[in-house]
Chains A and B, each alone.
Chain A
Amino acid sequence: MNPRYLAWAAGIAALIALPFVYRDPYHLHILVLILIWSFAYTSWSIMGRFGLVSLGHGGFMGVGAYVTALLWNHLGVSPWIGIPVSMLAAGVLALVVAYPCFRFRITGHYFVLVTLALSGIVLQVITATRDYTGGSLGYTPNRTRGSALLALQFDDKATWYLIALFVWLTGLLIWRWVDRSMSRYAMEAISEDEDAAAAAGVNVTAEKLKITLISALMTALAGALYCQYQMFISPDTVSGISVSLQMVFAVIVGGVYVSLGPTVGAIITILLAEILRIGFGTKAVGWDNLVYGVLLVLFIIFLPKGILGSVIARLKTQRKMPQRS
Chain B
Amino acid sequence: MLTVSGLVKRFGGFTAVNNVSFRVEQGEILGLIGPNGSGKSTIFNMLSGTLVPTAGSIEFDGAEISGVAPHRIINRGVGRTFQIPRPFHRLTIFENVALAGFYGQGSHSRAIADEAAERALGMVGLPTDRHASVDGLGAAGLKKLELAKALATGPKLLLADESLGGLDETEMDAAADMLRKIRDELGITIIWVEHIMGVLMRVVDRVMVLDHGEKISEGLPSAVASDPRVIEVYLGTDADSSQVAAAEARRRAGA
Contacts and interface: CB of A to CB of B under 8 A. Distances in A.
A52 to B, nearest CB: 14
Interface of A is mostly: helix
B221 to A, nearest CB: 28
Contact of B99 (A185, A195, A204): A185
B67 interface: no
B251 interface: no
Interface stretch (A32-40, A115-123, A186-194): A186-194
A204 B70 CA distance: 10
B50 A186 contact: no
Given A188-B90, A198-B50, A203 B99 contact: no
Contacts of B96: 189
A182 interface: yes
Interface string B93-109: 00110111011111010
B131 interface: no
A198 B104 CA distance: 9
B22 interface: no
B103 A196 contact: no
B113 A182 contact: yes
A21 interface: no
B246 interface: no
B70 A185 contact: no
A201 interface: yes
Given A185-B91, A189-B88, A202 B103 contact: yes
In this complex, the member of A188, A193, A196, A204 whose beta carbon has the largest number of chain B beta carbons within 10 angstroms is A196
A201 B86 contact: no
Interface stretch (B11-19, B74-82, B169-177, B205-213): B74-82
Size bin of chain B's contact surface: 20 to 34
A195 B50 contact: yes
A199 interface: yes
A200 B80 CA distance: 8
B163 interface: no
A193 B50 contact: no
A204 B90 CA distance: 17
A189 B95 CA distance: 10
Contact of B91 (A189, A201, A203): A189
A199 B48 contact: yes
Interface in A165-191: 182, 185-186, 188-189, 191
B74 A196 contact: no
Contacts of B87: 196
Contact of B102 (A182, A193, A195, A204): A182
A204 B95 CA distance: 17
Contacts of A197: 88
B82 A185 contact: no
Nearest to B85: A196
B76 to A, nearest CB: 10
A198 B99 contact: no
B105 A192 contact: no
A201 B75 contact: yes
24 contacts: A182-B102, A182-B110, A185-B88, A185-B91, A185-B95, A189-B90, A191-B90, A193-B86, A195-B70, A196-B82, A198-B69, A198-B70, A199-B70, A199-B74, A199-B80, A199-B86, A199-B149, A200-B74, A200-B149, A201-B71, A201-B103, A201-B104, A201-B105, A202-B71
5 closest A-B pairs by beta carbon, nearest first, are A201-B104, A201-B103, A196-B86, A200-B100, A198-B70
